[in-house]
A and B are shown apart, each in its own frame.
Chain A
Amino acid sequence: MMSSFNAIVPMACVTAAGIAAMVAEAFRDPGERMPIGGLGAVGLLGAAIATWLLWDRNAVSFGVVSADKFGLFVTGILIVVGLLSLAISGPTIERERLPRGEYYALMLFAIAGMMLMATATDLLVIFLALEVLSLAVYVLTGIRRDSQKGTEAALKYFLLGALSSAFFLYGIAFTYGLTGTTRLDRIGSLLAAQAMAPTPMQLLAVGLVLVGFAFKVSAVPFHMWTPDAYEGAPPAVTAFMSTGVKAAAFAAFVRVFLSAFEPLKGSWSEPIVAGWSQVVWVVAAATMIVGTVVGVAQTNVKRMLAYSSIAHGGYLLVALVAANDVGKASVLFYLLTYAVTNIGAFGVITLLDNLDQPNDEVRDYAGLWNHHPALAALMTVFLLSLGGFPPMAGFIAKWYVFSAAVKAGDNVLAIIGVLTSVVSVFFYLRIVVMMYMTPSDTPARFPAVPRMAGAALIASAILVFYLGILPTRVIDWAAASIATIF
């Protein structure tokens, strides 16, 4: 009987840690320092052990949460995201005097929601998970209550997010109307049996769900909230949401579209069958192009990385369009790589953030090399990885995704992908130019680096090189992950 709970053990660990954080905060004397972040780390480590034990078991709880390898791989990514985010949050909390317990509790609940989203096999449960994680992240975005930008960002994010949830729910309703179920596997088989060419009603259902996901992964044209939210939130939260939300949303996106909605994929071959893959093709191309081209024009590092994050979403969509075994596995590898790299980059931003001076304009990075050579070197590693330079992980990830596109015969999308990635190098290098090649006009004004956060950044950098030079094992895991469910 107990065994039916197995699949939810990882998220239960994280939830328990979140509750513990709240309780600890409630019983904390004002002024007393408690290692609440440590509680979160314990919860995440518990989740990691559970994930490791569940690997290869294919545990299913209540018929709607499936701890298959695909879900567990994403759970693993989320654990990495959680640990790194906890580690780089310390300085921000300290400096901004944020409510420690609430901050960590919200982050842990968000992670639990993300894990549920990655493992859910029912549209309604996915929706539930989406709401759990979104609500926590909305609050985290606006957690600096006295910051005007933060509040504006949170409100914008919340309104657009709520709207997208409505779309998503509406899409689920239509899907239920068509098939009489919300279970992904049954939807898949029923849709496959219904008709050869998708009917308008089916396309409407898929379209609405697609809009919901597109909001969450900030795909063009539903990306408008991203730069504002990323800029307004504390950088540690941005690091967390730009990676965690994306990983969870993409996991569900791939699962829903490549299992339940697989029959409505459509095809480019003669005669053209209308389906979602044509739409996603256009969305992917637009996302890559808009993300990089608008990114070039940014002068704020956070907004620049927000557009970079949009562009990276586009590369992930390329893999989704390819929809072959390489594509599905590459999504997993890409999400891991992107998570490690992006948290690293935002971690550096977090460490440079002063209360009186956010240091988040590109020109603020002038001469960083002279003041903080180690931080400059780490930032360079992360930026070059985002730009896709070997031997960093970003190169392997991009190669993997474009391999999927080439294998699917989609050369045009692959060409758009590589060319936009060259354009993106331009704005990543602008920061490098500032750090190394531009003398700073003002004296050093960067805060010292706390040990914990420094260790997290070094760990990220090591992972970036590990995944870039010896990706074999992780690629094998990713390949094994997709073999079980699709």
Chain B
Amino acid sequence: MQFPILTSLVALPVAGAILLLLVRGDEEQSAPFVRKIALIVSLLVFGETLLLWSRFNPGSGDFQFVERHAWIPAFGIEYAVGVDGISLLLIVLTGFLTPLALLSSWESVRKHTRAFSIFLLLLESAMIGVFVSLDLFLFYIFWDAMLVPMYFLIGIWGYERRIYAAIKFILYTMAASVLMLLAIIGLAYLYQTTNGVYSFDLLKLYDLPKTRHQELWLFAAFALAFAVKVPLFPFHTWLPDAHVEAPTAGSVILAGVMLKMGTYGLVRFAFPLFPEAAAFVAPALAGLAVIGIVYGALVAMVQPDMKKLVAYSSVSHLGFVVLGITAMNTQGVQGAVYQMLNHGVSTGGLFLIVGMLSDRRHTRQISEFGGLKKVTPRLVAAFLIVTLSSIGLPGLNGFVGEFLILLGAFRWDPRLAAFAATGVILSAAYMLWMFQRVNYGPVTNDKNARLPDLQPREWAIIVPIIAVAVLMGVFPNLFLRPIEPSVQRMLNQVQRGAPARIQAVNR
């Protein structure tokens, strides 16, 4: 029997959390020990995700490392997991960001360190679970279970309005998800009426014939759940609150991985399961995406709070991802998947840097800073690189994704691409303006005069981020190669369902 690598990936963080439960001693004694164990576990998980990547056959678009076990046979529910090129790198991203999130909270989390580490590890398990599930029931379990640790992370270790933000986050996303649960159940019964047995198996449900009417309702339920998660304009209102109030580690995971659940869901579930409905609704979704790109950018521009600015920039960047998906051609979807990774790295990096500044000054107001370049030159250099990567400077990661998405969008509808392209310019405007106000000019606030520069721990956080940003910008093919066959396969899937649309696009 093959080694169950995916199951062990899901189980390893949980095992780490259980191990931490057994640690004795009060906060003072146990905290350093707890932090180390959590970091080691998360590094092991990251190592295992790299191992997964190295074993992955990039030439195939099929699901690999598939494990299947009967779970609730009466309803055809299986424990079925597998990865393809779309989910592979998202799993690696999860493994990459979790240790950084733990490192970022090394000193800023001072109470209940053990519980903090446990929740973060449980969250990692659930996130990996979402990416590997091939059974819709299993997927939903991870999807919903993910909310609980995040709720605690925001609610216990967040900033002033953390309780409000935590409850808004969980209720908002749950309200949208429960309808998807009904749609999942509906799909299984639909399968039963044609095949006699229930099934929640994604691969079987792909090929299940559905009427147009059924597709539209089911697609609506799925798309709503994902749109809230992305978040697509106008469902984004939970995001600024959650991001701003969450501790740095929470923001990094939220922006870096959890937002991708929404776009991943569109690519993996909503579009291939309901191709006809997707083709019908795609223009509207693309419209919302473009509005989100411009709106997010404009709102970001006027934010006085750095964290809120980065949060709104996420609305804008994720709009690009949705636009790429709705274009439904190779470049668009490939760019979208690539952009998901980029956004995880660069926005994760931005939140980490804002977290470092906020650790030093206990404020995130742009106006409180100024002239940092003279005080903390190394930190500012890192800040600059991450900022440029977020803007999409050629040579860094952001450029490749945005370029592919705009190319895909242009092939579909040049008008959409034109509007979306303004988002690229706007993002340069708000990011650089923020950067300028924080780092250039004279030191206006005496409190900033003696800030320490990067600590060794912070080097360990920022160097990997920059290294990956450069790697992804210079060698995009390294990452695009495993993505492509799976994207192709997914497009074929959609094409079978809605041939007219695809042909019209690929003229």
Q: Which residues of A come within 8 Å of B, CB atoms?
A: 384, 389-391, 395, 399, 402-403, 406-407, 411, 414-415, 418-419, 421-422, 425-426, 429, 433, 436-438, 471-472, 475-476, 479
Contacts and interface: CB of A to CB of B under 8 A. Distances in A.
B433 interface: no
Contacts of A402: 181-182, 185
Contact of A475 (B72, B148, B182): B72
Given A407-B189, A437-B155, A475-B72, A425 B182 contact: no
Contacts of B148: 384, 389
Contact of A399 (B73, B145, B166, B181): B181
Contacts of B72: 471-472, 475
B162 interface: yes
B178 A421 contact: yes
Contact of A406 (B140, B152, B155, B185): B185
A415 B179 contact: yes
B175 interface: yes
Contacts of B71: 472
Instruction: Choose among B71, B75, B181 the residue with the greatest number of A CB atoms under 10 Å from its CB.
Output: B181
Query: Which 8 pairs across A and B sit closest by C-beta, in order of nearness?
Result: A418-B178, A390-B141, A406-B185, A422-B175, A437-B155, A390-B145, A403-B185, A422-B174
B175 A411 contact: no
A426 B171 contact: yes
A426 B171 CA distance: 7
Interface in B131-151: 137, 140-142, 144-145, 147-148, 151
Interface in B155-200: 155-156, 162-163, 166-167, 170-171, 174-175, 178-179, 181-182, 185-186, 188-189
A437 B162 contact: yes
Contacts of A415: 179, 182
A74 to B, nearest CB: 20
Given A384-B148, A422-B174, A406 B182 contact: yes
Given A406-B182, A419-B175, A433 B163 contact: yes
A472 B73 contact: yes
Chain B interface main SS type: helix
Contact of A425 (B73, B142, B174, B186): B174
B74 interface: yes
A436 B155 contact: yes
B167 A426 contact: yes
Contacts of B151: 429
Given A403-B189, A426-B167, 17 more contacts: A389-B145, A391-B145, A399-B137, A402-B182, A403-B188, A406-B189, A414-B182, A418-B178, A422-B174, A429-B151, A433-B163, A433-B166, A436-B155, A471-B72, A472-B74, A475-B72, A476-B74
A411 B142 CA distance: 24
Contacts of B156: 436-437
Contacts of A476: 74
B78 to A, nearest CB: 11
A87 to B, nearest CB: 24
Instruction: Choose among B162, B174, B188 the residue with the greatest number of A CB atoms under 10 Å from its CB.
Output: B174
A437 B170 CA distance: 15
Interface string B32-76: 000000000000000000000000000000000000000111110
B189 to A, nearest CB: 5
A422 B178 contact: yes
B124 to A, nearest CB: 15
B138 to A, nearest CB: 10
12 contacts: A391-B145, A403-B185, A415-B182, A418-B179, A419-B175, A422-B178, A425-B174, A429-B167, A436-B155, A436-B156, A437-B156, A475-B72
Contacts of A395: 141, 144
A354 to B, nearest CB: 26
Contacts of A390: 140-142, 144-145
A433 B174 contact: no
Nearest to A407: B189
A160 B148 CA distance: 40
A46 B494 CA distance: 60
Contacts of A411: 182, 186
A80 to B, nearest CB: 21
B243 to A, nearest CB: 18
Nearest to B172: A422
A72 B503 CA distance: 61
Contacts of B137: 399
B179 A425 contact: no
Nearest to A434: B163
Interface string B434-456: 00000000000000000000000
A96 B497 CA distance: 69
Contact of A433 (B74, B155, B185): B155
B74 A425 contact: no
A406 B141 CA distance: 19
B26 to A, nearest CB: 12
A414 B184 CA distance: 13
A44 to B, nearest CB: 29
B415 to A, nearest CB: 37
A402 B174 CA distance: 16
Contact of B74 (A418, A426, A479): A479
Contacts of A429: 151, 167, 170
A160 to B, nearest CB: 34
A433 B165 CA distance: 12
B167 A433 contact: yes
A240 to B, nearest CB: 29
A425 B168 CA distance: 11
Interface string B196-231: 000000000000000000000000000000000000
A426 B151 CA distance: 12
Contacts of B185: 399, 402-403, 406-407, 414
A421 B177 CA distance: 12
Given A406-B189, A436-B152, A437-B162, A419 B144 contact: no
Interface in B400-442: none
Nearest to A426: B171
Contacts of B186: 406, 411
B221 to A, nearest CB: 10
Given A384-B148, A389-B148, A433-B155, A418 B182 contact: yes
A51 B145 CA distance: 36
A390 B181 CA distance: 12
